[in-house]
Amino acid sequence: MDALHVDLLVIGFGKGGKTIAAAMGRRGQRVVMVEQSDQMYGGTCINIGCVPTKALVHDAESRRPGDAPKHWYARAVTRRADLTALLRGKNFDMLDVIDSVTVVTGRATFAGPREVEVRAGTDLLRIRAETVVIDTGSEPVIPKIPGVLDNPRVTTSTTLIATEDLPARLVVIGGGYVGIELAGMYAQFGSQVTVLESAERVFVREDEDVADAAREILERQGVTFLTGVRATSIRDTDDGATVSYEGGGPGEAGEGAVTGDLILLAVGRRPVTAGLGLEVAGIRTTDRGAVEVDEHLRTSVPGVYAVGDVNGGPQFTYISLDDSRIVLDQLVGSGERSTADRGAVPYTVFLSPPLARVGLTEREARKAGHDVLVASKAVASLAAMPRARIVEQTDGLMKFVVDATSGLVLGAALLCVDSQELINTVALAMRHGVSAAELRDAIYTHPSSTEGFNEVLAALA
């Protein structure tokens, strides 16, 4: 058995792990990056997550009425594959050009506190390291529904976006943000889409006015929602797969069924820890299966850290990147940076137009005891945001929740064109105590979406 002794071992080629590996490699540290698949260099976001799905969303939005759905979709899938291959290669090169960094393709299993065995076929390599970073990410949850296992018509987000044939009918089990995003995308490609959601409404984390506006947009795009229902079984039929469900929202029967060519499971994601041998190393996990970490992302074993989705934090690539800053501060900095330093972390659901939010909803702010002012306007009513009309995307709304005493922004929900960019400005303002009045009176370029803030925030009430 071959053996290596290195300064840093990173397990998993995700955003946080690769950033730490590159930074330490540039310092002359001997680094080994272990990734179990050469199709995952660069991590989930580049290969099966953010980048390919957003590329598909863009192509779905670009489809014109005269474009044949199946042909347009096949073209989009090819472009997605080319894009991910390009970025995968660039990510490999990012580490490969550093002389002291070695990328090893194989499956890592802990053999001790800071020691792993990496298997690739019949080859076995033992690696001991002074520091270990676990960055194995997350994977789709497979619900225990009869008929799910070994069913070729059942898919996850990972396999769906690689499917070359556009499903005429897509049934989505789960109305969370992954399921909703894919539902909207496939509806715009031309699929007939039905979403089954166990909650009484979709977008449960949003205020009802925002949720209703987003749902109405998706329904106009062709998505059908069945809320308050639970899938009970999946069975193959002559022309597809039928999902039986029980429950029912207002006006719906207590039981029913819907048939699709593909059934998408979108009920959440879980940390990838199975098979790592964490118990051998003495690395504790939480009751939800994540690697247990403190505010500095240290595990229960000294010298071992966990970053990204595997540590149970928010499942965003940019959080994984911030995780890398915390760990690097432990390794070569002051050691003071922690997860407690984060504030006003935004997120975006890439609908058409996107829904982006940061901070508290109106409901949360009032429940927390804030005296609030609310400014909310439909994009179609805004005179000071001509960009929406220029790009022919006037759906949605802008909503701000402001503390009436301090004048500071408590939160914002932006369902509009360019919201994935606008929300970063709001988040930065919140982190640095910029008031709603300052945002209202700021000078923005024209015509831009940001200048909509001038008009919306003038309506605080």
Residues 6+ apart with CB under 8 A from 16: 133, 135, 307, 308, 320, 321, 323, 324, 327
Question: At 22, which amino acid appears?
Answer: A
CB 153 within 8 A of CB 241: yes
Instruction: Please give the structure tokens belonging to residue 95.
Output: 């580490």
Pairwise CA distance, residues 348 & 115, whole Å: 38
Of the candidates 355, 375, 316, 341, the one whose C-alpha atom is nearest the C-alpha of residue 138 is 316
Question: C-alpha angle with apex 395: 392 to 396, nearest 5 degrees?
Answer: 145
420: left (phi over 0), alpha (psi -120 to 50) or beta: alpha
Half-sphere exposure of 197 (CA within 13 A, CB side): 22
Instruction: Please give the structure tokens belonging to residue 236.
Output: 């193959």
Pairwise CA distance, residues 254 & 245, whole Å: 8
Which phi and psi angles does 369 have, rounded to 5°? 95, 10
Of 5, 58, 370, 446, which one is the catalytic site residue? 446
Q: Is the sign of the CA dihedral 298, 299, 305, 306 positive or negative?
A: negative
446 classed as catalytic: yes
Instruction: Please give the structure tokens belonging to residue 63.
Output: 């489809």
Q: At what angle do helices 177-189 and 208-220 cross, to 10 degrees?
A: 30
- For the annotated catalytic residues, the residue numbers are 446
